[in-house]
Amino acid sequence: MAAPVRSTADQPTSSVQNLTIGKALNLGLRAAMEADDKVLVLGEDVGKLGGVFRITDGLQKDFGEQRVLDTPLAESGIIGTAVGLAVRGFRPVCEIQFEGFIFPGFDQISSQLAKLHYRTQGGIKVPVVIRVPYGGGIGAVEHHSESPESLFAHIAGLKVVSCANPVDAYWMIQQAIRCDDPVLFFEPKRLYHSGALKAPVDTAAEPDPLFASRTVRQGSTATLVAYGPSVKVCLDAATAAAEDDLSLEVIDLRTLSPLDLEPVFESVRRTGRLITVSEAPSESSITSEIAARVQQECFYSLESPVLRVTGFDTPYPPSKLEEHYLPDLDRVLHAVDRALAW
């Protein structure tokens, strides 16, 4: 087994680097592994290949095969052994290759990972992170473009987060790994290598807390709330709307469970209108939950109902149709129009 030596060649000269989301995740994982030698990375093809998205690129080379494990091909095995490793005191970070392949591991997630701490009255901690590249827009075949995060938000005992930019990617993955609870970490795969989203990441900065939403654009006419890949869609929509003199506020949820809706309530009390945006099907989803809670908390502030712009309640369609399936700028603005005309 190779010793966990960090190759100094990679060492940046300043603490600020201009990174894509994918590279930020890679550096975040590296930082977490350096900070704590109980952190393990495991999954299919995460070692030599560096993962099919290269998010774990170079980690096995530097940390060895006992800290970066190319596992057998079975997701229940990945998560089930990660639970056991966590019981032993490790902090496993599992990669699920694409979100559509998390389901064979669903039982271990819901029956063991989510419940072990509760069942033992806190006696056992299971600080497992499950990294899930998710969402559409990459022209892929079936099972490679879905957004199943609502299923996990419904399961008590799990925490669920999603990052939408390189700074969050870098910090949130480290915070998730440090968190003593199991965290489902949803990564917007089509943005992994987006040059447009590249941003300076200051590795010496103080990050925002993990389980907090953030207002990423201020506005007064209506509020858009989104997470992961849809944040960019909303920001683009807000930019477009500004040309029509519409001032849209955009909130990046960041944490999907527990939801941090205070900033949303506060915003809706000002704007009176809310549109939630997500690629996931709407039925019994996180966007339903937001609507349910906002209509209760902001009952007298709402000037129109909470509207939802989401994927449809169908399986993910063949990729030639995904531009219709995925919420885009036009659909978001159409919803804004509807809200304003209510």
Per CB under 6 A, contacts with ligand TPP among 15-44 are: 44
Whole-angstrom distance, CA of residue 187 vs CA of residue 170: 12
Quick one: which of 236, 118, 188 has its CA closest to 250?
236
Stretch of residues binding other proteins (CB under 8 A), selected from 13-21, 134-142, 220-228, 272-280: 134-142
By the rule CB under 8 A, 301 interacts with a second copy: no
Smallest distance, Å, CB 61 to ligand TPP? 21
Residue in 101, 152, 192, 211 binding ligand TPP, rule: CB under 6 A: 101
* 144 catalytic per annotation: yes
Does a cis peptide bond (omega within 30 degrees of 0) precede residue 182? no
Residue pair 79/131 in contact (Cβ under 8 Å)? The answer is no
Report phi then psi at 82, rounded to 5: -60, -40
> The tokens of 154 are what?
């419904």
Closest to a second copy by CB, 61 vs 115, is 115
Minimum CB distance to a second copy, residue 293 (Å): 8
**What's the CA gap between 104 and 44, in Å, rounded?**
14
99 binds ligand TPP (CB under 6 A): no
Q: Is 123 in the site for a second copy (CB under 8 A)?
A: no
Catalytic member of 143, 144, 154, 193: 144
Length of the chain: 342
269: left (phi over 0), alpha (psi -120 to 50) or beta: alpha
Q: Which of 2, 73, 141, 212 binds ligand TPP (CB under 6 A)?
A: 73
136's contact among ligand TPP, a second copy, other proteins, none, with CB below 5 to 8 A by partner kind, is: none
DSSP letter (8 states) at residue 71: -
Residue among 75 and 252 whose Cβ is closer to ligand TPP: 75
Is 242 among the residues that bind other proteins (CB under 8 A)? no
Residue 140 binding target from other proteins, a second copy, ligand TPP, none, CB below 5 to 8 Å by type: other proteins
Task: Report the distance separating Cα 249 and Cα 234, nearest Å.
Answer: 9
15 binds other proteins (CB under 8 A): no
- Residues of this chain that interact with ligand TPP (CB under 6 A) are 44, 73, 75, 97, 101, 104
